[in-house]
């Protein structure tokens, strides 16, 4: 999708539920800022939800969008951030569910090495794997 010195690169952005299952997935060019994908990922969140995101998503726009949706944004502030926000380090530990989702994705060689050069095909492969993760979560619950 995006061209860098190393070649084509892509960032995968994911919104996962409390059990680490993907809800929404999007792609952006590798050189784009992470916050550009947040608008599409965060729409239609349930009121009262807790948004756990890393420092790359610390922006006034994302915090405002979360506040308008009655969602609490537990995002660590950037080091150059002016002002303070409420942040719970205890809740932030649960962000590892997102990292575990990405580790499950990388178990598939086609995703880890990005065989598909077409972004639509690459996203379709990611969504197929996401469906498999959902199926496995129901199998393990039964």
pLDDT of residue 26: 92
| Structure tokens that stand for 39 in this block | 């608008």
pLDDT of residue 8: 62
Entry pTM? 0.84
Which range among 37-46, 87-96, 116-125, 132-141 has the greatest average pLDDT? 87-96
Q: Which helix (H) or strand (E) holds 32?
A: none
Q: Return the sign of the alpha-carbon dihedral for residues 42, 107, 136, 127.
A: positive
Residue ranges making up the domain that contains 26? 2-141
11-29: pLDDT as tens digits: 889 999 999 999 999 998 8
| Structure tokens that stand for 32 in this block | 């784009």
pLDDT over 50 at 111, yes or no: yes
Residue 122's CATH number: 3.30.420
Total domain count, the chain: 1
The residue with tokens 């409420």 is 86
The mean pLDDT value of the chain amounts to 87
pLDDT over 50 at 1, yes or no: no
């Amino acid at each position: 999708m995006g061209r860098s010195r190393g070649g084509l690169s892509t960032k995968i952005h994911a919104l996962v539920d409390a059990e680490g299952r993907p809800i929404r997935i999007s792609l952006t060019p590798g050189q784009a800022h992470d916050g550009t994908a947040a608008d599409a990922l965060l729409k239609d969140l349930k009121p009262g939800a807790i948004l756990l995101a890393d420092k790359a998503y610390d922006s006034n726009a994302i915090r405002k969008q979360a506040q308008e949706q009655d969602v609490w944004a537990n995002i660590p502030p950037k080091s150059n951030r002016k002002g303070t926000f409420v942040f719970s380090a205890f809740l932030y530990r649960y962000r590892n569910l997102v990292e575990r989702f990405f580790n499950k994705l990388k178990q598939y060689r086609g995703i880890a090495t990005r065989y598909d050069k077409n972004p639509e095909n690459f996203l379709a492969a990611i969504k197929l794997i996401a469906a498999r993760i959902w199926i496995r979560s129901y199998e393990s619950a039964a």
